[in-house]
Structure formats: structure tokens, C-alpha cells
Structure 1
Amino acid sequence: MPSPSASSRLSPNEVPVGEPLVWSIVGVDGALLFEAGTTVTNLAARSFLFENFEPYKFEEAGADNANDSTQTANANANAGSPGDESSGHLTLDNIGLKIGARLGLRAAPGSAMYSSRVIGFSTPGARRARAVFITQPVISGHQPLDLARGEQVELVALTTRSVFQFACTVDAVCHEPFRYLVLSEPGNIRRLRARKFVRMTTRMPAHFFNASCEERTPQLGLIRDISPFGMSLAVAEPTASLDDRLRLSFRFHTDDTDVNIDCDAIVRHVHEVDAQGINGAYGLEFEKIEPSQRIALKSLMAEQV
């Protein structure tokens, strides 16, 4: 993403309305808000821009365009046979848990969820169950979670297949060559359903147009919250109706990967501008989204635990 300089901060009177921009507008974090050549359609759209973002001027200087497509999440979301889990008996071998997979871990029901990663597996034997090696669980703003041998922990695992929940016992606490845990083979693995994903609050820009109308000029919106299945999108002027189809484009960064998503969403709710002039919003349900992109959204949310 481009990096705006402090001297390029824009004021409202520097952003023309109703004519193509000769430079791009980006946010303070470099996120593209308006590409050069696009148009800020009216005063309401310009007000929305300055009320919700910190816009900067970005002039291309031989660099790649800020709107170039970036690599999407790993297409391994479709890996494996779709019937691997159909028997109902879930194991380490068929849920797709791999080294590097993200884990959420809590020591007691209802306690804080810490973040960890899988770093290895033991080889099972005739009298030895398979063990899972994980990094010491951490959470932002807290000390690393100290656990003792024999404690039982609850884990949520994000894999390329789905999201799973299971329990393990701490078999060993190791300190060399770094701190890590050895967990027992998971018992009673179950798949989490979509409702387990609450909306994650965010402030990401998104571009959209109403695919149900002839006018398809891209507009700027603000993603207020998001899940792998939908979002709340604040807009300058809500003009779409229930069941209209919006074409969405937005990007984010997760697991050291830039993810660019272009998808269709159905308008399920319309919130009009209120009496204080607060922006309207759409409640959107994703209609068509690539499996790898849905996994990337789950990964984004898992980073917040």
C-alpha cells in the first residue's frame, strides 16, 4: 500500500466534486479510498470521506497502482476430499490441522481466549497416542498463559476446512529451546457452526456499486463490522433497497498475506441517515465469496482473540 506523507493531508476544498480526480486519495494507513480517474460524486460523498477517514493525496511516481490486485489467501481452502468429515468422526487426520495453524486456547470455560500456533505432532505408536506441540499461548496486553502438566484446556482451531473445537490435556510444559506445550491427542472434536462467529468491529474502507441498477459508479463505504458471512457497511446516502445486490471490493492483511476481496452481497437491512445526520448503513449478507476468501476472513477474526 502507498505511504502518504504528512504534507499531503487533504482538506475538503482540495477534493473536487463531480469531476475525475487527477490523483488518488488514500487513508492514513495507505488504504486506497479513491483511485485517480474516479469521481467523488457529490457533497454528501465528500463529507462522508472526511467524517470517516483521514484522506491524503497520493500521486503515482512510477510505482505500481495502489489498486493493483494482490494475492488472495491460499487456495488450499478446497484441499482434500469433501467427504473426509462426512462420517461424523473427526480426528487430527481429517480436520486438516497442520503446522502453523492458528489456535485459540482457554484454560477454563468463559475465560479469556489466548492465541497459539501448532508447531508439530508426535508420531503415534501402538501404545502411544498422537501429541500436539504448540507455542506458549499469548494475548495482547497480558502475560503469556502459564499452564501446568495435567491441566485441561479448550481449543478452537482454524484450518483450511473449517473451524473446530476440542479439548486436550497438557502433557508437558517445555522451556528449551523456547517455551512450548505438549498436548494430548484431541478428544471429542466438533465443527463450529457459522453462528459462532460474532461480528468483528473494524473501520476498513470498501468500494461498492449497486449491481441491481444501471448506474454503477463505485462509491466509498466504511465497514463498521464484519464476519465471514456479512458486514455492516456505512454509506454516505443509502439508496439501495432490500434484496438489492451490491458488488463489493475491499482488502485487508492477515497471516502475512494481503487479501483482496471482490464479491457480491445482498442487502438485508437498510438503516437511513438519522436525525443528527449520522451516516446510513446497509446490513449485508455475502452471496458469492471464494472459499479461500472466507477462510481468510476467519483468520482475520481469529487474530483478534
Structure 2
Amino acid sequence: MSIEPVAAPLLSALVRLAPEDVPLQTPLEWPVVAEDGALLFDAGTTVPNEAARDFLFRHFEPHRRRETEAEAVAPGEPSRSDNAQMTLDDIGLAIGARVGLRGTVGTGSSMYASRVIGVSSGRRSGERALFVTQPVMSGMPPLELVRGEQVEMVALSGRGVFRFVCTVDTTCREPFNYVVLSEPGGVKRLRARKFARMPTRLAARYSVDGATELTQVGRVSDISPYGMSLTVVEPTAQIGQRLRVSFHFNTDDIDVHVDTHAIVRHVGEPDATHHSAAYGLEFEMLEPSQRIALKSFMAEHS
């Protein structure tokens, strides 16, 4: 039984862009995406000037999708049902991912900390084993598990926060203490969480309130369901003014477009090194569905 790390996604479907590939003052003929495939600017967006394009390449690694990839995705292609049973593959656990573990023998409601160290190749039944470090908790002795014991797990991955159960297959002492668990069962994605602002990197267009078009480009540097930090080439708005901001993000394989107004609550000092400054913005109003989508986005990337 071999331990195999979870494979990283391939980027063969993307073509990296050079500055000269992005035209100025001309609507884009194709979407511009980041290196992970996240949407930066949709087709039809106009990059207004060279300063804006320089900002784009300084803060992102712009790509476009290969034509064959775009053609392969049929419009309206059905996504995976929310009611479908989730598996280990849906959790997206990577080597080193943090997990919380609660045993059933003498631990009460205490959640111990552990990390993923591997995933086995499939057994004859097709199931895979999960390898984790011995669970620990500050101020307490390491958690001793017994074979056949069922444990409750909470995992943080790039796709969200998940709860599931495993059975202890065996405990090992060499070359260090670790635990072999059965493949996760009863996997559920958790939704209810409280959020602080989360660092991120999303492309945005904006304008000072009153302008008819979104002519400026910026970067969403951190975000919460109630506000965000917007890094810009040169700030022109004052505290108390309103900005119209527009940006995209993806959650649960759905592209979400936010176009709303925000109040400037803070204007940062210019950063001479990066030729930029930042606004602290408070969303004036978000649709409930957009706020829920932002919470989901933050859970996936926490």
C-alpha cells in the first residue's frame, strides 16, 4: 500500500499572456483569467491605458483559455448535483492540510489537531486510506486511538470546510507516530461560519460615483461579506465618497459577478515601491445571494 500525494491541477488549458497581447482602448475579444483559471476580466472589457495594463501584469499573471478548451465546454452544461454523495476527491485534501479530529473514547467534545501526510492507492474494494499525524492538543497528551474506533473529522481545504467520519484502521509508531484511517464517509460541506476579511487577489473595475463607465482598474486585496480593500494605481476619491466597483469570483463552480457601490472608509498612503495605494471600502448594499456567495467563496479559500 503506497502513499500518494494529491495531484495538483494542470494548467495546459491556459496560455500565458504578454503585455502586448492585451490591447488598449479596445474591447477584449476573449476573457482574461489568472494562472489558476479564475476570471480576471470578461470578454468585452476595455483596458483604458498603459498604466492600467502595467498594473494588471504587476499584480496578476494573466492568461487566456485555449480555443479548444472554450469549445469543449458546452453552454448550460449541468454542474454536479448538490445532493450527490461527496467523496474524498470532493474534499480536495492536500499533503500537509490541517484537520481536526474528535475520538469516541474518553475525549468528550474536544477536537484535536492533526495533518494529512498521505492518501493510499485504491484497495481491492476501491477504497483508499487516509494517513494523518497523531492528533495533539496544547496542554494535553497526544490522543491515543484504538483500531476500529470511529472518529469525527473536520478538514480545511482550498474547496471549503468539510465534516466527515472515518474508522481507525491502525496506529503506527515507526518512523514516527501516525494513524491510518478508512476512506471518509458521510462527507458534508459546512456553510455556517463567521468571517473576518480574507486576503485575496481579484481583478476589479471601478469609478468614482457619478461616472457613467467603469474606466479604472484595481485589485481586490482582501474581502469580507461587508467590505474590501481595493488596491489602485492612484487614489482620487476621499473618505466618505462612493465608488462603483465591479468584480468576479468563482464559488461552487459558479461565476459570480458583483457590480455595486461602496463607501470609502479609509485611503491608504501611496506605496512608492509598488506604485499603488489602497482604499478601505464598506459595501453600501449587496444582494443577499451575493453576500452568501462571498461567504461560500471565503470558506473555500480559508
2:194 equivalent to 1:237: no
2:216 equivalent to 1:219: yes
Work out which of the residue numbers 284, 287, 292 in structure 1 matches 2:284. Answer: 287
8 A Cα contact 1:20 1:39, kept in partner: yes
Q: Structure 1, residues 223-278: CA drift from partner, whole Å, max 9, x if none?
A: 11111111111122222222222222323333454433332211111224323243
2:139 equivalent to 1:142: no
- One-letter code of the match for 1:281? A
8 A Cα contact 1:4 1:57, kept in partner: no
8 A Cα contact 1:33 1:220, kept in partner: no
- Equivalent residue for 2:199? 201
2:18 equivalent to 1:11: yes
2:109 equivalent to 1:152: yes
2:237 equivalent to 1:270: no
- Equivalent residue for 2:55? 48
Give TM-score, length-normalised by structure 1: 0.53
Distance 1:287 1:139, change over 3 A: farther
- Equivalent residue for 1:179? 166
- One-letter code of the match for 1:301? M
Structure 2 alignment gaps of length 5 or more: 1-9, 77-82, 85-93, 112-148, 153-163, 168-191
Q: Secondary structure at the match of 1:8?
A: strand
2-side partners of 1:147 and 1:141: how far apart?
Answer: 19
Q: Secondary structure at the match of 2:259?
A: strand
CA shift at 1:284, angstroms? 0.6
- One-letter code of the match for 1:200? M
CA shift at 1:200, angstroms? 0.8
Distance 1:139 1:275, change over 3 A: same
- Equivalent residue for 1:87? none
2-side partners of 1:291 and 1:7: how far apart?
Answer: 33
2-side partners of 1:7 and 1:294: how far apart?
Answer: 30
8 A Cα contact 2:13 2:66, kept in partner: no
- Equivalent residue for 1:301? 298
2-side partners of 1:219 and 1:278: how far apart?
Answer: 15
Counterparts in 2 of 1:53-64, with a 5 A limit?
53-57=60-64
8 A Cα contact 1:44 1:237, kept in partner: no
CA shift at 1:218, angstroms? 4.0
1-side partners of 2:102 and 2:12: how far apart?
Answer: 43
Work out which of the residue numbers 212, 235, 245 in structure 2 matches 1:248. Answer: 245
Q: Structure 1, residues 147-197: CA drift from partner, whole Å, max 9, x if none?
A: 23551358xxxxxxxxxxxxxxxxxx74699538xxxxxxxxxx99xxx63
Work out which of the residue numbers 32, 38, 42 in structure 1 matches 2:39. Answer: 32
Give TM-score, length-normalised by structure 2: 0.54
- One-letter code of the match for 1:15? V
2-side partners of 1:57 and 1:299: how far apart?
Answer: 26
CA shift at 1:7, angstroms? 7.6
- One-letter code of the match for 1:240? A
Q: Secondary structure at the match of 2:45?
A: coil
8 A Cα contact 1:9 1:56, kept in partner: yes
- Equivalent residue for 1:83? none
1-side partners of 2:253 and 2:27: how far apart?
Answer: 34
- One-letter code of the match for 2:241? D
- One-letter code of the match for 1:265? A
Q: Structure 1, residues 9-52: CA drift from partner, whole Å, max 9, x if none?
A: 22223333334444443322333333444322122101101101
- One-letter code of the match for 2:229? S
Structure 1 alignment gaps of length 5 or more: 70-98, 101-137, 155-172, 181-190
- One-letter code of the match for 2:206? F
